[in-house]
Amino acid sequence: MALSWARVGSLVASGILILFAPDASGYCQTSLCQKDKSGIVCSPAQADDCGIPMRWPGGCFGYAIAERASKQLPYELLSKAMNAAATTWGAADCGNGEKPGLAIVDFGPVACDQKEYNLKSGNANIVIVHDDAWPYDGAGNTLALTTVTFDLASGSIFDADLELNGTVALTAGDADVTFDVESIVTHEVGHMLGLAHSEDKDATMYIAYQPGEISLRTLSPDDEEGVCKSYAPADVSACDPTPRRGLAGECDPLPIEEPGCACSTTQPARLRFNGLLSLGLLGCALGRRARRR
Ligand SMILES: [Zn+2]
C-alpha cells in the first residue's frame, strides 16, 4: 500500500499543534476531500472540513486475522479483542433504543500477514501484529496503523487493514494492563469504519492512549454520535460483508495498484508517553503506477 515515510513524518510533526489546541469536542469522519486527497468532516463543523464522509457501502464489512497472530497474543486472544471491538461499535446507542446500521463480521484466521489491496483478485480486511519490528516511522510511540482504501469517486470504503505494533507490551485482560489490545483495536476499528480522530479527550477516537488505560474499550457519547452519523440505524441484514472480489486467505504475490482507482488513508493510533504526544494522520497516498513487490 502506498504509504510514504515522508508523509508519516510530516504528520507526526503536525501533532505538536494538537498539544496546544484548545479543548474541543466532536467526532470527525474521514472524508474524500478532493480527487486524490482525504480530509475530515467534523461535528461541530471545523474550518477545514472537506468532502464526502467515507463509509462502508451497505453498512457492513468483514475482517480476518493473520493466523500467526503474535508471540505475545495467541490468535484466540486477538480474535476475542476484535470481536469485542466489533460488538462495541455495533451496540452504540443511537437514541430511541436504536443501534447503528452496521454489521462487522469475523471471517476467522487467514494465512496472509501483509497489508495489501488487490485490484484484480480477492482481498482481506486484515489484522496483523508486527512482533519483531514496526515497519514505519514512530516505532517508539505508535501503537497501531489502520490503512483504509476507498473509491476516489464516492468515498466508499473498499478495504481496511489494521496493523498492531507488537514491539510494545500488549496485554489482554484486566490484570497488569500495559498496552490493552482491546482498547487499541476498538480505536482502530473506529478508523476501519471511517471515523477520524475526535478532539473529545474522553472519546475512544481521541488520538492518545495512556499505558494501563482500558477506558477505550467502551464508547463515549461522542463516539456513539459519530458511528450513528456514519451508519444511521437501518436494517443491514442483506449487506454482504465479503471483501471485494472475495475473501483471499493467501497474500497476493503481486499486488498491483492502478492509477485513479483507489486511494489509501492511514490512521495510526499514537500514545502519549513521557509527555510526548504524537498525532495520527489524515493523508492520502495515491498509487500512480503499477507496483510490484
Ligand atoms: Zn487513531
Confidence at 152, pLDDT banded by 50, 70, 90: confident
DSSP state of 275: T
Q: Which residue has the higher pLDDT, 227 or 18?
A: 227
CA atoms of 214 and 144, how far apart (whole Å): 16
Whether 210 is covered by a domain: the verdict is: yes
280 neighbors 138 (Cβ within 8 angstroms): no
Confidence at 265, pLDDT banded by 50, 70, 90: low
State residue 284's pLDDT score: 33
State residue 149's pLDDT score: 87
State residue 267's pLDDT score: 59
Q: Mean pLDDT over residues 30-34, rounded? A: 86
State residue 147's pLDDT score: 87
- Ligand 1 centre to CA of 195 (Å) is 9
Whether 134 is covered by a domain: the verdict is: yes
Q: Mean pLDDT over residues 232-236, rounded? A: 97
- Ligand 1 centre to CA of 197 (Å) is 6
Q: Mean pLDDT over residues 99-123, rounded? A: 92
In percent, the amount of the chain with pLDDT more than 90 equals 59
Residue 58 exposed, middle or buried by CB count within 10 Å (0-12, 13-18, 19+): middle
Confidence at 263, pLDDT banded by 50, 70, 90: low
Cell of 102: 452496521
Give the CA distances from residue 66 to residues 34, 115, 168, 173, 194, in Å, rounded to whole numbers and listed in that order. Answer: 33, 10, 18, 21, 22
Q: CATH number of the domain that 248 lies in?
A: 3.40.390.10
- Ligand 1 centre to CA of 186 (Å) is 10
State residue 106's pLDDT score: 98
Whether 293 is covered by a domain: the verdict is: no
Residue 90 neighbours by CB distance under 10 Å: 18
- Ligand 1 centre to CA of 145 (Å) is 7
Q: Mean pLDDT over residues 49-63, rounded? A: 95
CA atoms of 291 and 293, how far apart (whole Å): 7
- Ligand 1 centre to CA of 270 (Å) is 7
Whether 211 is covered by a domain: the verdict is: yes
State residue 87's pLDDT score: 98
222 neighbors 202 (Cβ within 8 angstroms): yes
Computed over every residue of the chain, the mean pLDDT equals: 81
Q: Which residue has the higher pLDDT, 292 or 228?
A: 228
Whether 229 is covered by a domain: the verdict is: yes
- Ligand 1 centre to CA of 70 (Å) is 21
Query: 69-93 pLDDT, tens per residue?
Result: 999 999 999 999 999 999 999 999 9
- Ligand 1 centre to CA of 208 (Å) is 8
What is the value of pTM for the model shown?
Answer: 0.83
- Ligand 1 centre to CA of 194 (Å) is 11
State residue 67's pLDDT score: 97
Q: Which domain holds residue 203?
A: 5-286
Q: How many CA atoms lie within 13 A of 274 on its CB side?
A: 2
- Ligand 1 centre to CA of 276 (Å) is 16
- Ligand 1 centre to CA of 268 (Å) is 5
Question: 3-state class of 169 per DSSP?
Answer: coil
Phi and psi dihedrals of 40, rounded to 5? -140, 155
Whether 291 is covered by a domain: the verdict is: no
Q: Mean pLDDT over residues 193-210, rounded? A: 92
Q: Mean pLDDT over residues 107-114, rounded? A: 94
- Ligand 1 centre to CA of 261 (Å) is 25
CA atoms of 98 and 205, how far apart (whole Å): 21
State residue 34's pLDDT score: 78
- Ligand 1 centre to CA of 175 (Å) is 24
- Ligand 1 centre to CA of 267 (Å) is 5
Return the closest-CA partner of residue 107 out of 247, 275, 273: 247
Residues 6+ apart with CB under 8 A from 189: 82, 85, 86, 89, 104, 162
Find residue 110's DSSP bridge partners: 66
- Ligand 1 centre to CA of 91 (Å) is 20
Determine the straight-line distance between the first and last CA of the chain, rounded to whole angstroms. 10
State residue 255's pLDDT score: 58
- Ligand 1 centre to CA of 51 (Å) is 20
Residue 272 predicted with pLDDT over 50: no
Give the CA distances from residue 196 to residues 40, 204, 230, 267, in Å, rounded to whole numbers and listed in that order. Answer: 7, 11, 11, 8
Phi and psi dihedrals of 227, rounded to 5? -70, -35
Q: How many domains does the chain have?
A: 1
Question: 3-state class of 182 per DSSP?
Answer: helix
Confidence at 226, pLDDT banded by 50, 70, 90: very high
Whether 292 is covered by a domain: the verdict is: no
State residue 108's pLDDT score: 97
- Ligand 1 centre to CA of 213 (Å) is 15
State residue 25's pLDDT score: 72
